[in-house]
Each structure stands twice: as structure tokens, then as C-alpha cells.
Amino acid sequence: MQHKKATIQVDGYGPLTISENGQVTYGEMIRYTRRLYKLSADDVAMLYSEIAGRPVTGRHIQRMEQTDHFFPKDPARRWILAQLLNVPPALMALVSLSQPEAQESTSKKVIIPPPSKNIDVEEYKATLQSYWFDRYTMPVEEVVEDTKARLDHLHDIVLYSRHKKPIVSLLCGYQLLLADIAQEQQVWTAAKRYFANAITLAGEKKLHDMLVVALYRRAVFFNDLENGEAALRDAETAKKIIDRLPLSLQGKILMESSGAKARLAQDGKDVTKALEDMDMASTLVGQPTSNDDFLFGAAFDQERYLLDRAATFMASSIKKLRSPQTAQDLLDRMAKEHRATPQSVNLYRQAYSGLIQAKIYYDQGVDPVALATAEHVLGLLRQIGSGIHLNSIADLLQGLKKRNPHNIDVLNLELEVMKARQPYLFN
């Protein structure tokens, strides 16, 4: 006589079959969820192949669900598959699946020779500039190790140097370099620490030009993390002491202030205030820069202004305060500007423009095009090895997933975002 299998209901989900030892298996949880959301076994097989790094078929998945065998043993990879399939939290708790913690890197450190007792200020400055622009062609570990060694040497030198201002300026510059690298690598805590170091040092030594640069770069950092309050604080502080600085930097600070205000906007009046800063910045477009201005990035040109203005019109979290058509017109003007002034393709700008375009498509309800555009942006970020904009892509993805939670293309993009944001899960 065949015994009837025991089942269980959890928070309205079920029935789920209980195994002989009285537990719900991982395989049963996956099978129940797949059927709940009407996902095919072939769809799950495609996602599983990406996670496990080996090909499987839909028939394999069905067999694995029934036997609870051959699914990844690693809890992190099990969690990834469960996340992608939108397994209800109550069921994840039932099989004790929780988000894995980030792991410390075990990469081998590069040994840098000890510095000499003297310092060549011009060489240190030239190296800082080289690392700022060309570090993507070098192993990042070597750049970080050499930068830290140079910082230690600068700390030692500044104690007895007669010309402390250039040394302190270099100290701030190398701290900002490490902050920028940490931001690219998505090590947010380290980035915050390096930014704070540079800001504190520049403030204590009354290096107003370096203080404003550091505040500007941290405002950019916070805006990328979508922390409008922190970005606005830094931008407003910088605005109080920018009078003697290059006009192009003043323009960029006004743009960051505008972007932060737009992100925080709660009504039309807030958006108007955000645009006031942007209108002021428009008078500073195209101002010349020098080789000494590299720490706050490229020139503030018309193309960049149009891009940032488009971003401002799409920054608010409240849909009715966003203006997708105005943003689209600005992107079209930016593309026309780029064609009129031939220059090398800037992949960062391409990625930023693509992100704004994806948001426009999303607001217009053209989800397949928004999805494809976001995938392109992710590919560009992967190409330059950058983690910037990943939070914005993830937010856009959540919107797409909310509208169509079980679309296999959406799930596939979620997997790629997960790989980019949490690579330690796939080691």
C-alpha cells in the first residue's frame, strides 16, 4: 500500500511535500516556486547553468527537484538561484537560506620596494596623474599598493619638510585616488574613509582648493549611491568656498547640487530650485582647464552639461516629477553635439547616457527596450571594470521585475547585476 506524502502550508504557500525526515527540501522549494510562477524547467536550467558553470537541461532540473540532488551545495549559490526565482521569504526561511556575507579578498599582494628618504614632488605629482587616468591599463593591486606606500612616505616627509603645502596637497590627492578606486571596486566603506581623510586634512591645513575638490568628488560618490542628502551637504559646503577656483569646477559643483536637489524633490517647487543651480552652471560651460585640474575630472563642456541636465530631469523617485520627454530631447541634443565635435568615445559618458536612456524607456513603458539598454550599460561597465551606476541599474531592474517578475530576460539581467555587485558569490 502506497503511503500518502505529508505536506505543509507556510504563510499561505503550499502544499509543499515534506521529506521522510520531516523537512521541506531545497528541490521541493524550487519546484513549488517554479510552478507557482509558471516558469518552465528550461528557463530555470538556463539560470542554473550560469550559476553552476556547467550546462544542464530542463529534464535535469525536473529530476533534481524530485531527488534534491545535484543542486549546488554551496549555500551562497543556492541563495542566488532562490533570489532569482523570487522564492517567497517564508519558504527561504524554511530551508534556512540567508544572504551570504561578503568575503575578504585573498588576492596576493604586490611587494613594493621601500621608498627613499627623499621625495621628488614632481615625480609624485606625475605618478598621481598617471594613476588617475591610466590605472585601467595596470593591475589595480599594484596601483593600490604603490599608492599606499607613497602615502606612508608622504606622512613621514611632511613632519620635517619646509614646504609642507605641496606635500599635504599630494597627501590629499593620493587619498582621493584611493577613494576613487574603492568606489570603482564597490568598497563603499573604504571609499568613505579615504574621502573623509582627504577632507579633514585639507580643512585642517586650510587648502581650500583641495578641500573643494574633495567635497565635489564625495558629492559625486554620494549621488552615485543615490544618497541625495549627503551629496547635497557636500555640494552646499563646497559652494561656500568656490569663488577662487577654476570656473569649470564651479560649474560641476553646481551640477552636483542640482542633481541632489532633484533626487530629493517632493514637489514641483523643489524641481524648480534644482534647475536654478543648473541654470547658473550653464553660464560656466566651456571654461578652460589646466593640467592641474585633473583631480576633478574632464572639462565641463556642453556635452557633459546636457547629459547632467537630462539626468536631473530623471532623478526624482516620484514619477510625476520626472520629465522623460525633456530628458530625451536633451540626450538627442547631446548626441548632436558629440557628432559636431569629433572626439574619442568616453565609455563612462556612454554608460551614463545609456542609464538615463534606460530610465526614459522605463517611464515610457517600453520595458523590453529599457531592459536591452540596461544590459548594454552593464556591458560597458564590465568593459571598463567599473562599479559605478550599479545601484541605479539595480533600482531600475527592481521596477522592471515588479512589472513582470517572472520574465526570463529580466531574471537573466538580475543574475548579471548580481555578478557585478557581489562577485564573491560566484568565486
CA distance 203 to 218: 14
CA distance to 19, 56, 63, 64, 71, per residue, from 67 (Å):
10, 15, 6, 5, 10
The cell for 378 is: 552593464
The answer to whether position 40 is within a domain reads yes
Distance CA 293, CA 291 (A): 5
What average pLDDT score do residues 167-182 get?
A: 92
Listed residues 94, 129, 164: the one ending a domain = 94
Final residue of a domain: which of 94, 126, 144?
A: 94
For residue 265, being part of any structural domain is answered with no
pLDDT on residue 85:
83
Tally of structural domains, the chain: 2
What is the domain extent for residue 53?
7-94
How does residue 164 score in pLDDT terms, banded at 50, 70 and 90?
confident
Residue 342: CB partners within 8 Å, gap ≥ 6?
none
Calpha distance 366→360 (Å, rounded): 9
pLDDT in tens, 124-137: 988 998 888 777 77
Tell me how far apart the alpha carbons of residues 295 and 218 are, in angstroms, rounded to a whole number.
Answer: 12
Q: What is the DSSP letter of 294?
A: G
Q: CA-CA distance, 223 to 215, in Å (whole number)?
A: 12
Rounded distance, CA 311 to CA 258, Å?
Answer: 10
176 falls within a domain: no
What is the model's pTM? 0.75
188 inside domain: no
Q: Closest by alpha carbon to 32, among 46, 55, 16?
A: 16
pLDDT digits (tens, 9 = 90+) for 214-257: 999 999 999 988 899 999 999 999 999 887 778 888 899 999 99
Q: Which residue among 48, 79, 94 closes a domain?
A: 94
Question: Does residue 420 belong to any structural domain of this protein?
Answer: yes
* Residue 138, domain member (yes or no): no
pLDDT computed for residue 4 by the predictor: 62
Whether 345 is in a domain gets the answer: yes
Q: Domain with 45 in it: what CATH number?
A: 1.10.260
In-domain check, residue 210 = no
Kind and range of the H or E run holding 146: helix 140-158
Q: What confidence category does residue 403 fall into, taking pLDDT thresholds of 50, 70 and 90?
A: very high
